[in-house]
Structure 1
């Protein structure tokens, strides 16, 4: 951005020549108009010559003033460009440092990197999506949680839980800095636990296609989808507890095509379907042996598409 700002500026010589030529043009027009106003005299009177001199002096003073303004304007623009370059340099250095932290072998350093990236995303809207991509890319790194750890929890799970908490905090109403409208690519992510409760999606995309939830609990309780897209295509819910209780779907699209509901618990108790589309119609019958739990109804609410025509209310 700083480079483009300086490229837009003319060379100082061209600027001044343009201003001087403009001033001379104004002077010439003024003389012609004055001559016409006096009835085209062949020999100008002393008063006319005096007026022409006054106009010339005014034009010279005006041109000098404009040249001073041009020089001041250029100094301001060059200063702004230099400041922008310095800011960009500092932010890029912070970004490199945070990326080095998030790739560190020690989990405590990785945690520091997570929050450093999040802070940078808040302060750097031009590269916010890049910062979000780094956090999401970490969750896409292959990982097998230690199922024999206390509470099914280990150091790596803590890092991943912190990342999902950072994402959620920026998607909840009232967030100091909102990340609404961005893309959160968690394709093939492995999540033992995550708290997405209360998040709101008004646009952008949350991609959890082919994600795995090996045990643990993922909460989307109170989630409000009013726009954008949420994809769970091909996700495996086996062995996990995933809840959408009291969630509201008033717009956008939530897609479960190819997802596997073969174990664990998926609950939509208390969820409201007031618009948009929640589509489970692409789930195979063979992958629907442990279907989600919904409130009781006579017919599925509008916008909720279930596999075949079978009701799954319990």
Structure 2
């Protein structure tokens, strides 16, 4: 109400309202009979087609309301359409009732301009048309509530269907046969692609599967299980790879989930302690990543990857080539305690926060050419088996942005 009052005070609605009242008053004063005929015809039309009139008025009101809101707020998933919301039903019914009452009032006033039997007839018509429109307002309210109830039932059924699919797929992941487990993974992928709200949950399930103990070559870990795990990796990488036109973490975070787009934005990845084989997450984007004590077998790639917030690789091990070239870390980047068994490339990497390489073992050469660092970086107790990667004062990137702590060469 305060907003409406402010608009009237500021003159946004007062001038059109006063103009409409003035025109109506002048028409009644100039020709009462003609005005009576117009009002009568309007009343008859409203009484004959109340639902059509109300739906048209509601549609116009909804378009005007939404037009004012475009660009000022993001759509909220799961909200009722305006016409089916409590506010929409109240506005439509109230508007219709007000129109009926106004028509009845005007017709009663004009009825006093005539005498005798004609006055009585006109008064009865006024009451009939006015109450008819008001009664129709109740019918419209019942209709809208029924439609909303039906939509609510359909949404509940859809949620139950998704729950059943999710439950069945998770049960398949525990099956003894590898093809059944593969089917469960693909079912979860389809569920997440069609329902963006379920994507983080599905990613959590796939990550939990990869975190389960696995040792290649053991009697209990068959080659089929190895293929199942590669499929889980492929699904994650496939949907975390940024679109070609998106190059930064900010652009990726700004994308809205879309069932038609394969990229899943705003995802957290927790692969703590996971065994990952040939894990190539090049050009991927995640919000937060946890690879603590993970084992990376073979060549691993995070080239061009973007991390919106913190990335934890604490205690991980890489037995092959580790490529972080061009990666961008938006938060804290923790590589403490990592063992790099092969060549490690951090060329052109960007650290926006603190970067830790304490107690890291570089068994072979490490490349940091062109790296930029906006916060502190530490190589305390780091060992470089392939030679010192820095020359002279070890400032990486823009001079003055890196503050030396301690490093063992």
TM-score normalised to the size of structure 1? 0.73
Residue 325 of structure 2 aligns with which residue? 246
Residue 206 of structure 1 aligns with which residue? 289
Count residues with an aligned counterpart. 284
* Structure 1 range deviating more: 63-72 or 110-119: 63-72
Answering whether residue 195 of structure 2 is matched by residue 124 of structure 1, we say yes
Answering whether residue 339 of structure 2 is matched by residue 258 of structure 1, we say no
The one of 345, 350, 368 equivalent to 1:268 is 345
Residue 271 of structure 2 aligns with which residue? 186
* Corresponding residue SS for 2:309: strand
- Distance in 2 between the 1:147 and 1:242 partners? 24
CA pair 224-109 structure 1, distance change in 2 beyond 3 A: same
The one of 164, 180, 183 equivalent to 1:93 is 164
CA contact (8 A) 1:257 1:280 kept: yes
CA pair 113-292 structure 1, distance change in 2 beyond 3 A: farther
How far the C-alpha of 1:205 sits from its partner, in A, is 1.3
For the pair shown, the structure with the greater C-alpha radius of gyration is 2
- Distance in 1 between the 2:278 and 2:372 partners? 29
5 Å-filtered alignment, 1:14-163, equals 23=97, 46=116, 51-146=122-217, 154-163=223-232
* Corresponding residue SS for 1:195: coil
Answering whether residue 261 of structure 2 is matched by residue 176 of structure 1, we say yes
Residue 312 of structure 2 aligns with which residue? 231
Which of the pair has the greater relative contact order for Cα pairs under 8 Å at 6+ separation? 1
How far the C-alpha of 1:291 sits from its partner, in A, is 6.8
- Distance in 2 between the 1:181 and 1:260 partners? 27
- Distance in 1 between the 2:309 and 2:149 partners? 41
- Distance in 2 between the 1:278 and 1:113 partners? 40
CA pair 277-241 structure 1, distance change in 2 beyond 3 A: farther
CA contact (8 A) 2:368 2:389 kept: no
* Corresponding residue SS for 2:295: coil
Q: Structure 2, unaligned stretches of length 5 or more?
A: 1-78, 244-259, 383-387, 392-409
Aligned structure 1 segments of 4 or more residues deviating by more than 6 angstroms: 25-38
CA contact (8 A) 1:129 1:182 kept: yes
| Bigger fraction of residues in helix | 2
How far the C-alpha of 1:208 sits from its partner, in A, is 0.9
CA pair 234-123 structure 1, distance change in 2 beyond 3 A: same
- Distance in 2 between the 1:90 and 1:114 partners? 17
State the Cα RMSD in Å.
4.0
How far the C-alpha of 1:35 sits from its partner, in A, is 8.1
Q: Structure 1, unaligned stretches of length 5 or more?
A: none
How far the C-alpha of 1:173 sits from its partner, in A, is 2.4
How far the C-alpha of 1:255 sits from its partner, in A, is 1.9
* Corresponding residue SS for 1:241: coil
**1:242-295 deviation line (CA, Å, top 9, x unaligned):** 42253332x51352243322x5125225x32345247124x22xx435376114
How far the C-alpha of 1:147 sits from its partner, in A, is 7.8
**1:90-140 deviation line (CA, Å, top 9, x unaligned):** 211111111111111122221121111111111122222211111111011
- Distance in 2 between the 1:278 and 1:157 partners? 36
- Distance in 2 between the 1:107 and 1:28 partners? 71
CA contact (8 A) 2:293 2:316 kept: yes
Residue 279 of structure 1 aligns with which residue? 355
CA contact (8 A) 1:293 1:313 kept: no
Residue 307 of structure 1 aligns with which residue? 379
